[in-house]
A = this chain, B = another copy of it.
Amino acid sequence: MSAPRVALLGVGLIGGSIGLAARARLGAHVVGWNRSPAALEIALRRGAIDEAVDSLDDLGPADVAIASVSVDALQGAVCDLCERLPDAVVSDVGSTKQALVEAVDREQFVGGHPLAGAESVGVAHAREDLFDGATWYLTPRERTPGVLYERLARFVAGLGAVPTAIDAAEHDRLMAAVSHLPHVVANLLVEQAAQALGGATLPATGPSFRDATRVAGSNPPLWGQIYRANAAALGAQIDELLLRLGEVRDLLREDGDLSGWQAQAALHRAALLKVGMQGDSSREIRVSVPNKPGTVAQIALQLGRAGINIADMTLAPEPDNRTGVIALWVCDGDAARAIELVSGLGYPAA
């Protein structure tokens, strides 16, 4: 995609950073609209957009359109973009995906969620390198046209992020576990410590309590919306934590030895935070596929589930226009497994 035309609905921290990176790294022409004209003015002055428009009707034409507004306003924003920009792949940057993806009945829409920049707000904090190395989840559906998914994944990779396909429900479950639940728990630890201290300040101590509760109370309007939007998955994670916590309490009552449990947690954490094969060289895999909807999404989701990153992707239709070849670049170390997984879907790969 050379010099893509990009439409941004919302130019805050995330939208503004997309604009900065798209212009600087992809040579994109970026047009922006924002509810607040003042923010739009700043975005223009900071070089996050080429052009500011007063009306959504003037955003297009575009190849890629991204809605970067608050969670509550996302559905309307995405629909606005789909209606006005029929040729664009439309995406968003919201922290929860299932409800939105189910509510928006458009083939051209692919949900998105970059794991970056949740802690501050406003175009004033926007940066070209905000997404460098960050996972950027994309939630293609079976009927997502491969060419649109490819365009979006390539755009996101061009901003510096690592596009990672994931099922929308799976995304929400994962975010509930690794982000929303830790935020809830941080709040509760703070409440409980405040209660135990009875108005005194925290004793001078190491950084462990500060670290454990760093996200407590962060951005209340944003987090209020995130909790609500992901209420089902977060509720399930809370239920699970209630069970686990009860088990620990019982172990403790029985004067059980928790040192084995503590050691187990050390292993879990080391496995979770294992450094990825960043320095690994990548390898091309070619997959022969029928030219039908859903194939690209199916392959991307299968690899995403296995934790295999697709560093790059191209689609090449065969002359008969009924079959084609997808070229995927993955880490050397992942190549054998990727071939096995893709072959398992019934597509010859090598």
The residues of B that contact A178 with a CB separation of less than 8 Å are 193, 196-197, 202-203, 205, 209
Taking a contact as CB atoms under 8 Å apart, the answer to whether B231 and A115 are in contact is: no
Q: Assembly of this chain: how many copies?
A: 2
Taking a contact as CB atoms under 8 Å apart, the answer to whether B242 and A135 are in contact is: no
Among B206, B269, B306, which residue has its beta carbon within 8 angstroms of that of A190? B269
Determine if A103 is an interface residue (Cβ-Cβ < 8 Å): no
Determine if A182 is an interface residue (Cβ-Cβ < 8 Å): yes
Taking a contact as CB atoms under 8 Å apart, the answer to whether A220 and B262 are in contact is: yes
Taking a contact as CB atoms under 8 Å apart, the answer to whether B262 and A224 are in contact is: yes
Distance in angstroms between the alpha carbons of A188 and B218 in the assembled complex: 22
Taking a contact as CB atoms under 8 Å apart, the answer to whether A231 and B209 are in contact is: no
Taking a contact as CB atoms under 8 Å apart, the answer to whether A265 and B187 are in contact is: yes
Distance in angstroms between the alpha carbons of A134 and B242 in the assembled complex: 34
Contact with B along A210-227 (1 / 0, CB 8 A): 111111111111011101
Known contacts A206-B119, A241-B188; is-contact A201 B272 (Cβ 8 Å): yes
Q: Which 5 residue pairs are nearest across A and B when measured between Cβ atoms?
A: A224-B259, A217-B266, A177-B196, A200-B307, A187-B265
Q: Which residues of A does B touch, CB under 8 Å? A: 115-119, 133-135, 137, 162, 164, 173-174, 176-179, 181-197, 199-206, 208-221, 223-225, 227-228, 231, 234-235, 237-242, 244-246, 248-249, 252-253, 255, 257-274, 276, 306-307
